[in-house]
Structure 1
Amino acid sequence: MPKLKTKRAAAKRFKVTGTGKLKRSKAYRRHILTKKTTKNKRNLRKATTVDASNVKTMKKVLPYL
């Protein structure tokens, strides 16, 4: 069996927590920030976990995490 290649774009965007869950940053924080509330922008700073429906795909894309 040959070695599997990691998708580098995904490797830059996702990290693994100590318990093995995938951590990601939230979207909607790049531009058009004037109409978003301060509270909304503050909550977008925090990282969150990848949804359970996407974990199988992400594990395939990131085989060595």
Structure 2
Amino acid sequence: MKKIKMKTNKAVKKRFRITKNGKVLSTQTLRRHLLTDRSSKKKRQARGWTAVDPTDRKRIQHLLPYDR
């Protein structure tokens, strides 16, 4: 008899990463469109990944069961 496996939420998998220590990272906002109105400094500071607030971490980890 096969065991039922939890499914990974693909939308969350595309947007978040979980580090080895369990910290959840997401890409920063303000990088998609209307970039001509923003200064170079603002665009440069929005590069890379940023840590997600701990209050949302548990919910995201539940949607990514195998990324721990």
TM-score (norm 2): 0.83
Query: Identity of aligned pairs, percent?
Result: 40
| TM-score normalised per structure 1 | 0.87
Aligned-partner Cα distance in 1 for 2:18–2:44: 23
Q: Structure 2: how far apart are the matches of 1:61 and 1:10?
A: 7
Equivalent residue pairs, number? 65
Question: Could you list the runs of 5+ residues in structure 1 that have no partner in the other structure?
Answer: none
1:1-65 aligned within 5 A: 2-65=4-67
* Stretches of 4+ aligned residues off by more than 6 angstroms: none
- Structure 1 or 2, whichever has the larger Rg, is 2
